[in-house]
Amino acid sequence: MSQLLSTTTIEQFKLLRAESEHPRELIVDLLRAIQDRNGWIPDEGIELAAEILGMTPIEIEELATFYDKLFRQPVGKRVIHLCDSVCCWTKGSEETSRELEKQLGIKPGETTSDGMFTLLPTCCLGVCDVAPAMMIGLTVYGDLTSEKITAALEQERQEATP
């Protein structure tokens, strides 16, 4: 299990738990650390988080499956969260979705054959002023057009390639 996190990180979270009045507050940070190191959160990550925080695996799982930015199955190197809120929808997110599907050759929920991109819908990115919008990693791209989508995907490919 320790391969999911470094020994140092495990010890840091154990110390935080010991100092915390409410260890539940650490769940998201701990799961993000596991995901950042592994790309997603496998069942062993849920078990490790439960062990570190002194909770049951189901308590961790309940939270892990609630947030759409925590991944419980493998995803591509870059995850594209396409906003499908009302604001983005009124500004053309359906066309944006079709363009992404065309350029990537996948449907929402799928990963490109090269493992680079996973396309996931999300309920809101909170950037209604630049709708329609998507987020890749922590970068938001807005006022999306076919050209802007192409440029964003190329930029993300370049950044992901060492």
- As a whole number of angstroms, the distance between CA 27 and CA 49 comes to 7
Residue 93: name the closest of 102, 101, 105, 84 by CA: 84
The reported pLDDT for the residue numbered 130 is 97
Query: What's the whole-model pTM score?
Result: 0.85
- % of the chain beyond a pLDDT of 70: 99
pLDDT confidence bin for 30, thresholds 50/70/90 = very high
- pLDDT at 1 > cutoff 80: no
Q: What is the pLDDT of residue 133?
A: 98
User: What CATH class does 2-64 carry?
Assistant: mainly alpha
Residue 161, pLDDT > 90, answer no
Reply yes or no on whether the pLDDT at 2 is more than 90: no
Domain extents for the chain? 2-64, 78-160
Q: Strand runs (DSSP E) across 20-77, as ranges? A: none
CATH class held by domain 78-160: alpha beta
Helices then strands, counting H and E runs in the chain, come out as 7, 4
Topology match between the domains 2-64 and 78-160: no
* Mean pLDDT, residues 100-107: 98
